[in-house]
Amino acid sequence: MEKDAYTVLKDICNRACHERHACANGYKQMLASGNVSQMMATWRSNWEDIVESKYADIIRTELPRIYPDLKEEMNKAGIYLNECPENAKNFVRVIITDSDEPIKVHGDAQVYVLGEAKVIAFGHAQVYNDKIAGAHVMLYGYSFGKIMAGTASAYDRSTLQCDCKASLNGSVSCDAFGGTVRAAAFRHINAYRDTVVYSNGDKGIVLSGTAQLKSLDEYEQ
């Protein structure tokens, strides 16, 4: 099945390149890729195109239907869809597309949210969501999240950069660049721009720009 699925994958990638107006070098690499392993190497060298703009939209809708036939070779290349090995090394990259089931990510995986899903991060996993309003990211352990859309919940000793609807309940470090932060417990918060922080105290909170501090009692669920 790999040959058929790979042909579909290459067609998808070529179409995405045209719609994305990808750079000539990236498009040439795409055309030169002769198997899944080579295509995944091309993805890695053009990763920003894969997880951003129109390319990401096409991957979000098209990849899930062919992934079962490509899974073995993609996983060998360290790239996963809506799943993650428990002891993921830092070369592992996980693409998240629309999912009704929560997706757990582990180890040192780098995780990119392209669809609506609940993502639960453990260990030192890194999660990125630039634009998906329907995604919810939960951070545990020492995980990191750059969450600029949707919602985020941070626990334990995790680190959060955000411009979204966020909640903190642990020894959490947070840099907020907008949105709201409900801070039940935290280590420190740096709030910028028009962020509104809801907390029952101001210790460990630094406000810049037009950021505001309000009581937890004022927070609206």
65 and 111, same structural domain?
no
**Judgement on whether residues 18 and 87 belong to the same structural domain of the protein:** no
Do residues 146 and 65 share a domain?
A: no
HSE-up (13 A, CA, CB side) for residue 70: 26
The answer on 129 and 24 residing in a single domain is no
Instruction: Give the range among 34-48, 51-65, 202-216 with minimum mean pLDDT.
Output: 51-65
| pLDDT at residue 101, as a whole number | 97
Amino acid letter at 21? H
Tokens matching residue 138: 């939960």
Do 128 and 86 reside in the same domain of the chain?
Answer: yes
- pLDDT on residue 18: 72
Whether residues 48 and 98 share a domain: the answer is: no
Q: Residue 107 pLDDT more than 50?
A: yes
pLDDT reported for residue 2: 45
Least-confidence region, from 15-24, 119-128, 129-138: 15-24
Tokens of 157: 């000793």
- Number of structural domains found in the chain: 2
Higher pLDDT, 25 or 185: 185
* The domain boundary residue, chosen from 74, 93, 123: 74
The verdict on 58 and 136 lying in the same domain is no
Residue 107's domain spans which residues?
81-218
Query: In this predicted structure, which of 18-32, 70-84, 117-131 has the lowest mean pLDDT?
Result: 18-32
| pLDDT over 50 at 201, yes or no | yes
d(CA 153, CA 193): 20
Q: How confident is the model at residue 24 (pLDDT cuts 50, 70, 90)?
A: low
Q: Is residue 134 very low, low, confident or very high in pLDDT (cuts 50, 70, 90)?
A: very high
In this structure, the answer to whether residues 160 and 209 fall within a common structural domain is: yes
Q: Report the relative pairing of strands 126-129 and 110-113 from DSSP bridges.
A: parallel
Indicate the residue among 74, 109, 130 that finishes a domain. Answer: 74
Mean pLDDT of the chain: 92
CA distances from 62 to 59, 118, 138, 147, 190 (A): 5, 20, 26, 24, 39
Torsion of CA 151, 46, 88, 70, to 10 degrees: 100
Instruction: Please report the pLDDT score of residue 220 as a whole number.
Output: 66
Taking residues 87-91, report their average pLDDT. 96
Tokens 């995986």 sit at which residue?
Answer: 109
Query: Residue 1 has what pLDDT?
Result: 41
pLDDT digits (tens, 9 = 90+) for 153-172: 999 999 999 999 999 999 99
Of 22, 53, 74, the domain-final residue: 74
Give the side-chain half-sphere CA count within 13 A for 30: 24
Nearest to 8 by CA among 55, 52, 64: 64
Same domain, yes or no: 94 and 168:
yes
Tell me the two tokens of residue 81.
């869809």
